[in-house]
Structure 1
Amino acid sequence: MTELTRRIPSGGGWYGVFAERDPDGLRACFDGTEILPWDIVDSLLQDAGEPGGGPFALRGRTLYAAATGAHDRRPGGAEALTERRELMERERRYADSRARELGDRLRAAPAPGPDETARLEHDLAWTRDDHARATARVADLTARLARLGERGEGGATPGPPPAPARRRPRGARYAWLDSGAEDQGPAAAPAPVPVLPTGGAAPRGARFGGAPQPGRPGGAAVPGGADPAVLSQADAAEAGRAAANAVYALQRLRARGRSGEAHALLCEALNGPPARLPALAGELHRAGLGADWSILLWEAASLPPGRLAAVAGALADAGRAADCDQLLRQGVARPVEELAGACAALRAEGHHREAHALLTAFVRVRAPEDAARLAAEDPRGLAPRLLEAARAVSAARESDLLHALRVAGLVGA
């Protein structure tokens, strides 16, 4: 890597992009604690003007294979590769869904204005790059797992991808998993990821594999049928301890430049009871890690609809209205089918203010035609609430939405 980066002209190219987007991760690769994905190495070769089939690139491939082999043979290597592949597969699916959504918005009638078109085209280009890189990394990680399996190394033989039978992880970084699911030998294969509605966006982040359970929007396994958004005094104390442990582990990972594992730790919080999240928010801010809380909210915006509603409700119940509103604003880019589900879940739990905030953010940033499509999911329930939300934005926005609803045949002339 050092030899390669010396050949790159300073002041731009992909190297500048990577250094800006993930400086800690890049530093960890230079330090040897992480392996740079090959698609990034390939981009750096382009920066250096080296042909992909040239002697320098071929030598780089040989060194890369040796480095990954040594890295993957360490204790726990197979498990780490499996987790990373799960992450990349979810990133690939999210990018694919996001690219379809952006393409639909570019082709929408009436066409977006020139400024909006330029922004959408910019976002689409980056989303396609994300998809290509995630696809390449899934293939690379699969090949590395296969090599470990052939050699019988790494302590495990990999099975098929997202269903390996393994013990429940322990320790501070996994403190957000439900405390009732103690390690009692090999665990059953995880529940399959639920099939989302057509055009639905796959969740982002490290692990969102658990399907929401019927009748409970959060989908968290809460003993005794208790409300997952409410903590008892004992549970609140446990949440505080778990938050302190998680923040301590996060600080250590950040100090070592292990940004990928730090991100995975944050995403673990979204797998546990939503009512624990306010404690984590407070602990992160006290530790000066407010930026990590913002990252967690960004990840939460892509959760399945019911769980998104559960997280928003937990934040609202804990008095974190600003965080709740930020989460809902970030979630309005989702397909309308999912947003309809999130609104229904919020109303079912009595969070009418939060449902109104979600719809207000939606009509503020999405086209009136999108709002009409959302209303079509539940005309009697959503059409009047969308008009109310548009009225809170402006009279012009209400008029535009009313016209779109009339064209869609959802309200009378």
Structure 2
Amino acid sequence: MTVYQLPVEVATFTRWLTELAARIRPDTGWYGVFAARDPEGLRACFDGAEILPWDVVESLLQDAGEPADGPLAARAGALYAAAATAHDRRPGGAAALAERRDLMDRERRYAESRARELGEQLRAATGAAEAAGLESDLAWIRDDRARAVARVTELTTRLARLGEAGHAAPARAPVAAPAPAPAPAPAPAPAPVAAQPSAPAPARARTPAKSRPRGARYAWLEESAEEREAVAVPVLPTGGAAPRGARFGGGGESAATSDRARAAEARDPAEAARAAANAVYALQRLRAQGRSGEAHVLLCEALSGPPDRLPALAAELHRAGLGADWSTLLWEAASLPPGRLAAVAGVLADAGRAADCDRLLRQGVARPVEELAGACAALHAEDHHREAHALLTAFVRVRPPEDAARLAGADPRGLVPQLLDAARAVSVARERDLLHALRVAGLAGA
């Protein structure tokens, strides 16, 4: 059996990367975003099988509180360039770079189209809550575009240097690091959180596979999550505590506590107001001390508490001028388990926060169709029929008709008429496309 040995330059860079990661908590900041959405891709980069895009390296430096023009960033650029040069010269390296560049160019075009669409919706928005939601979505899609543009430039440069080198012996001098990509975040960047030296060795946990998300933040590996029935999610080598928050399944929650029981738990309004005031006070203190990573954890933990308290927390956050934190919390909530997602959406609707509810459901439509079927059923079970219709309308608006047909297959008798009604609310063309997809799937007469 042939054993592949990492080039010295790649091994040196991955050691540096691991040392940097040890300074960052895995569930905060950009690291938390990348680790939650593409754990296998990030693991491959830590193992040296792939090279991180440079904009991701910059984001990790930002998470660690390192200035972009500081000495550590300069060393990172040199190590990165040397590693990328050595990695690209492996057999098939040029073809892989060209394929990756084409992928990122498609991502750039998608992001530009989506940004124009969101911009038009924002100009037509009639309420402050709706506008805030669209602004948050627009910030993310602009980040996608900025990263895609930077990666196309980087990959083009690497291809050109590979062509210039020809068949010459591998050069040891590092090439110039690619230009940094602007990365506007939808929430304040977190400050570094000290690692725990006594943390246990990295563990592995089984989790259901999720659809690979759109966007340049995750598109550096060819393999998609849909190609795996289940993935092993590694706890990356940070030395920190185990990930927590909605994107990690609400880590640490007892299996005996059901989502529905939590959602139905009655809460005193005065108690909810006190809890919200205390949470916002703690959040403000953490922000004032530069402990933004811990502030993010505090927000995530709010999602593991009684859903009935969330409207009070939303009101208190907006009263304190922390509307961006509420946007972050809703974004995290979009990855909750189906029953829990439905419970949160229902609570927001009952509290008169229809715009927040609709925004949460719009952000949740990227989930696998099986999970969406469960969320829709849970909403109907709680008599939140308007919210179930909003979820399906958002789904047929952004997902292809073939996905809608797969969703209908989970409950043809119930979902086919609901999906057709939702598609009709979008456009005549969308209804026609869905009918065709249903016929192909043998569900048109359901």
TM-score bin (small chain): 0.5 to 0.7
252-261 vs 372-381, greater mean Cα deviation: 252-261
State whether structure 2 residue 72 is matched by structure 1 residue 72: no
The whole-number CA distance in structure 2 between the counterparts of 1:137 and 1:258 is 25
Aligned residues: 284
Structure-2 residue corresponding to 1:125: 219
Alpha-carbon offset, residue 252 of structure 1: 1.6
Percentage of matched positions with identical amino acids: 60
- 1:276-308: CA deviation from partner (whole Å, max 9, x where unpaired): 000111111111111111110011000000000
The whole-number CA distance in structure 2 between the counterparts of 1:129 and 1:247 is 41
Structure-2 residue corresponding to 1:261: 294
Which residue of 435, 439, 443 corresponds with 1:402? 435
> Unpaired segments of 5 or more residues in structure 1?
5-12, 31-35, 55-67, 103-119, 146-157, 163-173, 175-201
Change (3 A) 1:48 1:287: farther
Alpha-carbon offset, residue 263 of structure 1: 1.0
> 1:2-151 residue pairs with structure 2 within 5 A?
23=62, 25-27=63-65, 46-47=79-80, 72=196, 78=198, 81=199, 97-99=210-212, 120=214, 122=216, 124-125=218-219, 138-141=235-238, 144=239
Instruction: Name the SS for the 2:374 alignment partner.
Output: helix
**Alignment check: 8 A CA contact 2:393 2:422 kept:** yes
Structure-2 residue corresponding to 1:366: 399
Which residue of 302, 309, 313 corresponds with 2:335? 302
**Alignment check: 8 A CA contact 1:300 1:308 kept:** yes
Structure-2 residue corresponding to 1:242: 275
Give me the CA root mean square deviation.
4.4
Alpha-carbon offset, residue 316 of structure 1: 0.4
**Alignment check: 8 A CA contact 1:364 1:393 kept:** yes
The whole-number CA distance in structure 2 between the counterparts of 1:130 and 1:42 is 32
> Unpaired segments of 5 or more residues in structure 2?
1-15, 17-51, 87-171, 173-191, 226-231
> 1:295-374 residue pairs with structure 2 within 5 A?
295-374=328-407
The whole-number CA distance in structure 1 between the counterparts of 2:421 and 2:233 is 46
User: Which TM-score applies when normalising by structure 1?
Assistant: 0.57
State whether structure 2 residue 260 is matched by structure 1 residue 218: yes
> 1:147-158 residue pairs with structure 2 within 5 A?
none
Instruction: Name the SS for the 2:235 alignment partner.
Output: helix
Structure-2 residue corresponding to 1:207: 250
Q: Which amino acid aligns with 1:314?
A: V
Alpha-carbon offset, residue 411 of structure 1: 1.6
Structure-1 residue corresponding to 2:46: none
The whole-number CA distance in structure 2 between the counterparts of 1:411 and 1:327 is 30
Instruction: Name the SS for the 2:442 alignment partner.
Output: coil
**Alignment check: 8 A CA contact 1:205 1:264 kept:** no
Change (3 A) 1:328 1:42: farther
Q: Which amino acid aligns with 1:305?
A: P
Instruction: Name the SS for the 2:260 alignment partner.
Output: coil
The whole-number CA distance in structure 1 between the counterparts of 2:402 and 2:233 is 36
State whether structure 2 residue 432 is matched by structure 1 residue 381: no
Instruction: Name the SS for the 1:381 alignment partner.
Output: helix
The whole-number CA distance in structure 1 between the counterparts of 2:416 and 2:247 is 30
> 1:154-233 residue pairs with structure 2 within 5 A?
203-205=246-248, 207-210=250-253, 217-220=259-262, 227-228=264-265, 230-231=266-267
**Alignment check: 8 A CA contact 1:217 1:309 kept:** no
User: Which TM-score applies when normalising by structure 2?
Assistant: 0.53
The whole-number CA distance in structure 2 between the counterparts of 1:337 and 1:20 is 33
**Alignment check: 8 A CA contact 1:14 1:47 kept:** no
- 1:146-187: CA deviation from partner (whole Å, max 9, x where unpaired): xxxxxxxxxxxx9xx78xxxxxxxxxxx9xxxxxxxxxxxxx
Alpha-carbon offset, residue 22 of structure 1: 8.4
- 1:346-387: CA deviation from partner (whole Å, max 9, x where unpaired): 000000000000000000000000000000000000000000
Alpha-carbon offset, residue 261 of structure 1: 1.1
**Alignment check: 8 A CA contact 2:249 2:337 kept:** no
244-253 vs 317-326, greater mean Cα deviation: 244-253
Change (3 A) 1:213 1:397: farther
Which residue of 308, 311, 331 corresponds with 1:278? 311
**Alignment check: 8 A CA contact 2:404 2:419 kept:** yes
Change (3 A) 1:130 1:368: closer
Change (3 A) 1:335 1:129: closer
**Alignment check: 8 A CA contact 1:206 1:267 kept:** no
The whole-number CA distance in structure 1 between the counterparts of 2:285 and 2:81 is 34
Q: Which amino acid aligns with 2:352?
A: G
